[in-house]
Chain A
Amino acid sequence: MAEPLLKVEDLRLYYRTEAGTLRALDGVSFELKRGEAVVLLGESGCGKSSLAKALLRLLPRNVAHHSGRVLLNGTDIMALSNERFRRDIRWSRISIVMQAAMNALNPVVKVGEQVAEPLLVHAGWKRADAARKAAETLTRVGVAADFMDRYPFELSGGMRQRVVLAMALITEPELIILDEPTSALDLLTQASIMNVLKRIKWETGTSFILITHDVGTSSELVDHVALMYAGQIVEASPARAFFREPAHPYGRALMASVPKLHDLADPVHIEGHPPNLLNPPKGCRFAERCPHRFEPCRREPPFFEIEGGRRALCWLFDKGAQG
């Protein structure tokens, strides 16, 4: 089998806080093949944005512990020096569209220059070539090339988000991380940006990690779902299977909480709160809120393989125990 583009093994990221050590990521592993897209699906505080930051080493200062392996085409990029990571990996091979990045554009620099900047900084292109490429990339994401000379304040939110996307695309990275790429946008703008992403995926074979809390949006792009809860991936499934019916009880509860346009079933919220990551429970982290809780849940569940290439961190799938 071909080497996966990205392989993340037992990634841990803890933060130092005044109240103690916060375990934002606690042993996360997943793989992504070239040309495919995976969603890290989860609600606020589940660690999904920390994962994006850890992959790109955009970490805050209060990191208490950071371990695990991140293999890009078989090379452990966690082991690289910061200098090499900056030069060889970040932006040239993995780029990111950060949450609310459209509000982080430099207000006094023209759009075209900002889009071209990664080429100048990370790839040493000549100005004129970079400008040409910037115009081409902007057109691709649905921004007319004559916007090159405008300033960010002259653009709508949707246009600015497209500009940010162009910045992530311009170096033709193998992998693009999208952290809530459409969450602040209107419905129609959201849908048209998802169209742009789909087209890029189909035409260029770029791989994506989509980070979102939005089940509906994630079903627009991805081939695989990694469902996150309290710093862990609790289910990893092909998208088809997951969106039909999640395996993990948290996935089912989350799906049942989403109001659907064409579904008469009344959405139901999940009682309770995610556990405190300063002191996560010893056993299954969802147990306290889980309708299927039973005796084994007091111990930490391992990943159980389920048919159809699915895995879930849940004792319900322990075939051995049930005989």
Chain B
Amino acid sequence: MSDLASPAFSATESLLTVRDLRTWFTLRKWGFLNAGTVHAVDGVTFDLARGESVAIVGESGCGKSTLARTLLGLDQPTEGEIVIEGEPLGTMDAAALRRLRATVGYVQQDPYGALPPFMNIAKTLAEPLRIHGISDAQERARRIRAALQEVGLTPPDEFLEKFPHMLSGGQQQRVVIARALILQPSLIVADEPVSMLDASVSVGILRLLRRIQQERGLTLLFITHDLSTVRHFARRVFVMYAGRFVETGAVEALLDAPQHPYTQALLAAIADPDPDNADRERDVPGGEPPSLVRPPPGCRFHPRCPHAMAGLCDRDEPPEFEPQHGQFSWCWLHR
């Protein structure tokens, strides 16, 4: 696969380059016997341009969180290449990894779990600053106030002394975002940032992320299982299934004319509030996502695919096709 034809090649300056990334985990039985390998991320290639917002969409177990954790340096890649701001992740020493953590901000799924319960907000936000060498307490306090202001926790003084349990879920998530932003990162990885929150609150969080991304010209990698939020909060989408991308493209094109049967199934399963929904069944492919220990040969979606072609889809891995300009799909139907 040439770089130019890669799913997400972009002509503008690349902030993040990922090439054929694999993150595998070895399962252990009784603590030492090898009981198989989980192919959580299994050959993923893309680029993120500086300042763009991209969503990775997939169901639980498709590898999207592992992909995020690998980019953050929290899981070790088994194979492949990750280059952030021109620096390859694989060869980083401890100091470089620390710099990476300042370059990449992480917004976790569960805000309550992400915030230390025994630290007040001021302390939680001071921690990264201290670790990254801001030794002047006044400077730290100034930055903490500015960060709280930016995420809409105003007036900041009202929140500094509070502990996480005294805040609502939405406020906690704003603190998590403030912490992710406080070192002025160039990339934010948000892993299901709103899946634990109510609808009326979650949209506020997504709008906040979008505003910050646009104002600061940040790159945002937004990981979600919810395709309906994607249109409003990302410009490009990567659809992931069983450890791989199955379709990538610009948001509007992909949502309005999905090319891969899996994307089509996902879109058909979404219920926009509509009074006619109750009168009809939804077209849902049977079965469940495959085991990542022994993924099926050929196309990984073929056991559930309504268009699967015997002798082809169950045997040969589909290569990348470009059925629409700028929209890539890994499916033999485009042959």
Contacts and interface: CB of A to CB of B under 8 A. Distances in A.
Interface of A: 37, 43-44, 156, 158-159, 186-192, 194-195, 198-199, 213-223, 239-244, 253-255, 257-264, 266-271, 273
B265 A216 contact: no
Contacts of B233: 259
A56 B228 CA distance: 35
Given A44-B198, A254-B199, A267-B232, A240 B275 contact: yes
Nearest to A264: B231
Interface string B201-245: 111111100000000000000000111110111000000000000
B59 interface: yes
A99 B274 CA distance: 24
Contacts of B200: 43, 253-254, 257, 269-270
Contacts of B203: 257-259, 267-269
25 contacts: A44-B198, A187-B59, A187-B270, A188-B59, A191-B271, A194-B282, A195-B282, A198-B281, A215-B199, A216-B271, A216-B272, A243-B274, A253-B200, A255-B273, A257-B199, A259-B226, A259-B228, A259-B229, A260-B228, A261-B227, A262-B272, A264-B231, A267-B207, A269-B202, A269-B207
A228 to B, nearest CB: 12
B114 interface: no
A140 to B, nearest CB: 15
A216 B282 contact: no
Nearest to A265: B232
A186 B59 contact: yes
Contacts of A223: 278
A192 B267 contact: no
A273 B269 contact: no
A186 B60 contact: yes
A240 B279 CA distance: 11
A159 B289 CA distance: 13
A167 to B, nearest CB: 21
Contacts of B271: 191, 194, 216-217, 219-220
A278 to B, nearest CB: 15
A227 to B, nearest CB: 12
A266 B232 contact: yes
Most chain A C-beta atoms within 10 Å of own C-beta, residue among B169, B202, B255: B202
A159 B287 CA distance: 10
Contact of A191 (B198, B207, B274, B284): B284
Contacts of B198: 43-44, 213
A219 B207 contact: no
The 3 A-B residue pairs with the shortest CB-CB distance in the complex, in nearest-first order:
A269-B204, A191-B269, A216-B271
Given A220-B282, A259-B206, 7 more contacts: A43-B198, A191-B269, A191-B271, A219-B271, A261-B231, A261-B270, A262-B272
Contacts, number: 129
B282 A191 contact: yes
Contacts of A216: 228, 270-273, 277
Contacts of B326: none
Given A187-B269, A215-B199, A269-B207, A195 B228 contact: no
A257 B272 CA distance: 12
Given A219-B274, A220-B278, A188 B284 contact: yes
A249 to B, nearest CB: 13
Contact of A219 (B202, B225, B277): B277
Given A260-B228, A270-B200, A239 B275 contact: yes
Nearest to B286: A192
A260 B206 CA distance: 14
Contacts of B116: none
Contact of B231 (A159, A244, A259, A270): A259
A256 to B, nearest CB: 9
Given A199-B281, A219-B278, A263 B272 contact: yes
A260 B273 contact: yes
A243 B286 CA distance: 29
A187 B199 contact: no
Contacts of B227: 187, 261
B54 to A, nearest CB: 17
Contacts of B158: none
Interface in B290-331: none
B88 interface: no
A86 B166 CA distance: 39
Contacts of A271: 204
A181 to B, nearest CB: 14
A159 to B, nearest CB: 8
Contact of A244 (B226, B228, B275, B281): B275
